[in-house]
Structure 1
Amino acid sequence: MRLFPSLTLTRYLGQMFIVRVLAFMIGLVMILQTLDLLSESDKILSVQGNGYPALLHYVSLRLPQLISQFLPFSVLLGTLVTLATLNQNSEVVVMRASGISAHQVLAPLLGAAALIGIAHFTFNETVVVRSTAELQAWERVDYAPRSEEELPEGQDIWVADGATIIHAREAIQSKGQLILPDFELYERQEGNRLTQITTAERAVYSDGAWTLHGVRVYGPNGAPATTQPTMAWNTNVQTDRFMAVSVDPATVSYSRLRQAIRDLAESGRPVESLEASLYHKISGPFSSVLMPLLAAVCAFGVVRSGKLFVRIVIGMALGFSYFVADNFMLAMGQFGTVPPFLAAWAAPLLFFCIGESVLFRTEE
């Protein structure tokens, strides 16, 4: 009735599994990073002032994304190779003959996969979100030099201040200031009649006050615009609202995204797509725990039956089907077709039931 077999066997299986997962991850990431760098190097080097340091900087920003994206694939491939090797060498037969159940054979792999999932989630929260934000900012300016302190939280901001509509391209935090580039202010009266349009190169919030730079003011009657170098701007909108509206799930942590969803919900904006991404920040790393269960079909069965290769193919098909279903459900959740929680967790729960059903049907 013990979950794990002996300590020696647990250590042996866990070590074999982790070594193969790391080997697949290193190989996949190196190949994909090389191909990605070849496709982007022309764009990076075409910018004046960019050289080999710029290529290395791109690799340092892109590498965490590739690791995060393909770690579950590495776990799947590592599981298949580990279990197929154990089956080929009749080690599974020895473990089963000694009274160890199929779930106990998989328990060390599931435990190691759980540790990988926790490390995956932590890596996403601390490294991937920041590198993604910096890479998106760099791509937005076509790999031109940009201050390292300017990390945008998102783009295309629309905020209502009573009847007034505020629009900006993005929100940038830099040197203790909040900057809204390509700022537009649509002032309306009751009945939604437009009375004035104010545009600015940027709006800067510093020392508790807003200042517009490069201002142009357009009247309602088609009169020529008036220009001013700077102009003070008063608004009742809190600065947190701008950061919440501009949030990009790929560039913020779980806690930051949850706070943004709360702020947007209080202002009456739809948050279903963000909620699906919030749940997926947990269900995504959890997929590593499912891989040993989905690949377990290749661990059991008599080797001399000649069906080991067929079992490996079935395990691989189950694993890749999970990734297809997971991406499909996440897309449906972001479009608002299915509830956010179901969009993030339907595929893991479904394939968990499938894996357990196959295991119980064939081995237990």
Structure 2
Amino acid sequence: MELRFFPSRTLALYLGKTFLWRSLAVLAALVVILQTLDLLGESGDVLAAPGNGQAALWHYVALRLPQIVQRFLPFSVLLGTLITFVTLNQNSEVIAMKAGGISAHQILAPLVLVSLGLAGLSFAFNERIVTRATATLTAWQDVDYNPLPAARHGSTDAWVRDGDDIIHAATATTDRGRVSLGRVTLYDRDGGTLKRIVVAPTAREHWEAGRFAGWTAPAARMFNVASGGVTSVARFDFGAGVRPDQFTLADVSADDRSLGVLGGQIDELRAAGRPVGPLETGWWHKLSGPLSAILMPLLAGVAAFGLARSGALFLRAVIGMALGFAYFVADNFAVAMGNLGAYAPLLAAWAPFLLFLVIGETVLIRTEE
């Protein structure tokens, strides 16, 4: 038996090209179907915003499409592997290859190599396109598909605590290095008892002698809980102990940040004493997630072997599909546990991958090698 992983260049190209085109065909079919269903469910909300028409629908498709491709690429690789192996088995091509001294690992090697390339492309696609599309789509959905502000860098729906007081900002945007807050509400409390509520349309950073001194609202209205009266003030200062980054980092999400940007924000949040477990899980999963494509040929490889005429080919295909979908269930469960803090971030991101790598290799060795 040959000891090389690619004993035949022609055979490796044939298997790799067959697997690649069938995986891409499955991905295209899934994307068309799922994008159509998603658009049917969301088009009413998009068109409900004043001024939105056909162009807005195409804009939504352009933003949603990268997310669908990212999520279903591993499924496409799994189904592409099963289709490839079932076809090869039915045509007795696998029997011919094994009769020529090619082992099961050598049959799988071209597919794993192609999957590695797909994993690399998936990682680059996620970093350069998916994160930006997700950030833009999330911002658009936050304003109910109305036009976005010209400059929008920051967060929305930010809640910050300042001692007993609680501050809510509907928006926190950064312009030229300075943070501005929109639709600010301050809940002034004393010992847990609400004293007054201050509402201001905007607020900005206040600096004195080159040092940050809090926030200033040019105009505000104050509701006194005890008296029930409402007064207006021309200027209201608050939040001397609330840093600007506490607003801009209030809703950091791993989905709309690239690996480098997310790592820097995790460091900032950790330095500020904020919990970063879910974000660290997301950071590690940005590496382990694309690599799931490498597992699919190994998990679905059971469908390649055995005699087609024995009637067990369908059962083998079902087993391969079950192993693949079991991985996705385990991966989603582990990430959820990591977000809840029940699993360490590194364990939550990598444990399912390593576990199913061992399972797939064990099944392959015990059944075929």
Please confirm whether the aligned pair reaches a TM-score higher than 0.5, indicating the same fold. Answer: yes
Give the drift of 1:72. 0.8
- Please, what is the CA RMSD of the aligned residues? 2.7
SS state of the match for residue 306, structure 2?
coil
Which range moves more in the overlay, 260-269 or 31-40? 260-269
| 8 Å CA contact 1:241, 1:263 repeated in 2 | no
Q: Contact 1:177/1:206 (CA < 8 Å) preserved in 2?
A: no
**1:246 pairs with 2:258:** no
Number of aligned residues: 362
| SS of 1:345 mapped into structure 2 | helix
Q: Against the structure 1 CA distance between its residues 174 and 136, is the aligned structure 2 distance closer, same or farther, given a 3 Å change threshold?
A: farther
Cα 1:175–1:18 change in 2 (3 A) is farther
State the secondary structure of the residue aligned to 1:261.
helix
Match of 1:304 among 309, 326, 346: 309
Q: Distance in 1 between matches of 2:342 and 2:318?
A: 33
Distance 2:133 2:151 in 1: 13
The structural deviation recorded for 1:46 is 2.5
Q: Residue in 2 aligned with 1:37?
A: 39
Return the alpha-carbon distance in structure 2 between the equivalents of residues 63 and 303 of structure 1.
Answer: 38
Q: How does 1:20-99 map to 2 (within 5 A)?
A: 20-99=22-101
Alignment of 1:131-150 (within 5 A): 131-147=133-149, 149-150=151-152
Find out whether 1:340 has 2:345 as its counterpart.
yes
Q: Give the CA deviation at 1:178.
A: 3.0
| C-alpha separation in 2, matches of 1:79 and 1:148 | 45
Q: Is contact 1:294–1:318 with CA below 8 Å preserved after alignment?
A: yes
Contact kept, 8 Å, 2:165 with 2:188, in 1: the verdict is yes
**Counterparts in 2 of 1:244-323, with a 5 A limit?**
244-323=249-328
Distance 2:222 2:137 in 1: 35
Q: CA deviation at 1:231?
A: 5.0
Q: Quote the Cα distance in structure 2 between the aligned partners of 1:205 and 1:279.
A: 35
Cα deviations by residue, 1:11-60 (Å, 9 ceiling, x for unpaired)? 22111111111101111000111111111112222222111111111111
**Contact 1:171/1:246 (8 A) holds in 2:** no
Q: Which amino acid aligns with 1:359?
A: L
Cα deviation for residue 225 of structure 1 reads 4.5
Q: Please, which runs of 5 or more residues in structure 2 have no aligned partner?
A: none
1:287-322, Cα deviation, whole Å (9 max, x unpaired): 111100100000111222221111111111111111
Structure 1 residue 361: deviation in Å? 0.3
Structure 1 stretch 127-136 or stretch 311-320: which is displaced more? Answer: 127-136
One-letter code aligned to 1:15 = K
Say which SS state the counterpart of residue 33 (structure 1) adopts. Answer: helix
The farther-off stretch of 66-75 and 220-229 is: 220-229
Q: Is the 8 A contact 2:154 2:248 kept in 1?
A: no
Comparing 47-56 with 244-253, which one deviates more in the overlay? Answer: 244-253
Alignment partners' CA distance in 2, 1:229 and 1:87: 79
Aligned residue runs from structure 1 range 119-158, under 5 A: 119-147=121-149, 149-150=151-152, 152-153=154-155, 155-158=156-159
| Alignment partners' CA distance in 1, 2:137 and 2:153 | 9
| 1:168 matches 2:173 | no
Q: How much does 1:167 deviate?
A: 3.4
Q: Secondary structure of the residue that 2:180 maps to in structure 1?
A: strand
Does the CA contact (< 8 Å) of 1:134 and 1:151 recur in 2?
Answer: no
Given that residues 300 and 321 in structure 2 are in contact (C-alpha distance below 8 angstroms), is that contact kept between their aligned partners in structure 1?
Answer: yes
Stretch moving more, 168-177 or 301-310: 168-177
Structure 1 CA distance, aligned partners of 2:100 and 2:204?
71
For 1:203, the equivalent position in structure 2 comes to: 203
Provide the secondary structure at the position in 2 that maps to 1:350.
Answer: helix
Partner of 2:358: 353
Report how far residue 229 of structure 1 moved. Answer: 5.0
- Mean Cα deviation higher: 241-250 or 287-296: 241-250
- Stretch deviating more after TM superposition (82-91 or 72-81): 82-91
Deviation at 1:3, TM superposition (A): 2.8
Residue matched to 2:111: 109
**Residue 100 of structure 1 aligns with which residue?**
102
**1:338 partner SS:** coil
1:12 pairs with one of 14, 19, 24: 14
**3-state SS of the aligned residue for 1:61?**
helix
Q: Is the 8 A contact 1:137 1:152 kept in 2?
A: no
Q: Provide the rounded CA distance (Å) in 1 between the counterparts of 2:62 and 2:352.
A: 32
- Structure 2-normalised TM-score? 0.87
Q: Do 1:183 and 1:200's aligned partners in 2 also have CA atoms closer than 8 Å? A: yes
Mapped partners of 2:124, 2:11: distance in 1: 28
